[in-house]
Amino acid sequence: MTSQTYTFRIQRNMPGQVGTVQSHWQEYKVEAEPNTTILTLLETIKGGQDGTLTFRQSCRSAICGSCAINIGGRTRLACKTHVGAVAKDGVVEISPQKNQPVLRDLAIDIRPFFSRVHGIKPYLQDGPERAGKVTSTAYDQVNHVTQCIMCGCCYSECTMAEVNPKFIGPAALAKAFRFVSDPREGLKTERLQDLASPNGIWSCTRCTLCVDVCPKEVAPMEAIVKLRTRGLNKGINTSAGAKHALAFHTDIKQTGQLNEFTLMMRTLGIVGSLMETGMAIHLAKKGKIPSPFPHSVTGVDELRRMYESLERSPIDVETKAKEAVPE
């Protein structure tokens, strides 16, 4: 493999007066082979060109999560990212993680992220739902999310955290799922009730960014979807998000089609719908109020039979973690 010159365009951030950060972009040239990691090259710059460049790093092996930064428009681990894979015309743009305060250059204040993680009580609790026996398959859900290294890539990209700093966020919710699905946890229902509160599981936009940016294949959104299912199965269904989700199978059984006309009322209730009339007026102006009586699809009775069959004899379709085997 031949080496080439790469331009690193790095966002420099200097703390100013309390709560402010002065930012500018600075360029560095480095010689590297395409499979050199971004972390190696940041160290090259720090060691040989500019000792003031500040960034976090530790293990170099994608296991400590310290070096998560925004590289080429996505939050990634610098130690796991090859320069050749992210350079555009030889240029690599680097800035700090998003959605948390910047301290200096590429280092951020990670406390908001960890306060969410601590908020979900990341430990087993004693209680009535604690299983007496632990079977060999009991960890196939727990193992789905225990790969998380708390690097914060998902929180940095989270589209809901961006507009709502109170949102618990993907990593903490994946961690919560780890405890909800652990047979030894005693307070599963209480957890699910807490997680269904505002800024919890029902605020995820399902944009799927957390799934794609996770360097450890934790797929946090899949864990959030499973938390919603578990909550609904326990009858925790008073939030707007839960009511909205519940409308779907009712409609599919009745006509096969979503009834958009009554969907809003079922989600928000009458008062909520009236408050939503700003939107209704906009739609009405364009003749866009949907019919309250959608046509039934052909063979809707088949859908009812499928539904009843599965209510009678449920099938477990949850994705399972592969059995862990020592390498």
Residues that bind other proteins (CB under 8 A): 73, 159-160, 162-164, 202-209, 211-212, 219, 225, 228-229, 232, 239-241, 244-249, 251-252, 256-258, 260, 264, 267-268, 272, 276, 278-279, 282-283, 286-288, 290-291, 294, 297-300, 302-303, 305-307, 309-310, 314-319
CA distance between the termini of the chain: 29
| Residue 323: other Cβ atoms inside 10 A | 10
Asked if 251 and 259 touch (Cβ cutoff 8 Å), the reply is yes
DSSP 8-state assignment for residue 2? -
SS3 of 205-255: CCCCHHHHHCCCCCCHHHHHHHHHHHHHHCCCCCCHHHHHHHHHHHHHHHC
Toward other proteins, which CB reaches closer, 131 or 246?
A: 246
57 contacts 67 by C-beta, under 8 angstroms: yes
103/303 with CB nearer other proteins: 303
CB of 274 to other proteins, least distance (A): 13
Q: How far is the CB of 185 from other proteins (least distance, A)?
A: 21
Judged by CB, which is closer to other proteins: 120, or 158? Answer: 158
Distance of closest approach, residue 247 Cβ to other proteins, in angstroms: 8
Phi, psi of 206 (to 5 degrees): 65, 35
Task: Judge whether 124 and 185 are in contact, CB under 8 Å.
Answer: yes
Residue 41: its H or E element: helix 38-48
Q: Which residue lies nearer to other proteins by CB, 43 or 260?
A: 260
Nearer to other proteins, 59 or 207 (CB): 207
Q: How far is the CB of 154 from other proteins (least distance, A)?
A: 13
Is there a contact between 98 and 112 (Cβ–Cβ < 8 Å)? no
Residue 157: CB minimum distance to other proteins, A: 9
> CB-wise, 67 or 209, nearer to other proteins?
209
Output 29 or 261, the one with its CB closest to other proteins: 261
Query: Closest Cα partner for 300 from 267, 265, 263, 254?
Result: 254
What is the nearest approach in angstroms of other proteins to the Cβ of residue 172?
A: 17
Backbone angles phi and psi of 13, in degrees to 5: -130, 125
Residue 158, amino acid? C
Distance of alpha carbon 309 from alpha carbon 311, whole angstroms: 6
At its nearest, how many Å lie between other proteins and the CB of residue 300? 7
- Whether the CB-CB separation of 55 and 49 falls below 8 Å is answered with no
In the bound state with other proteins, the residue whose beta carbon lies nearer, of 33 and 212, is 212
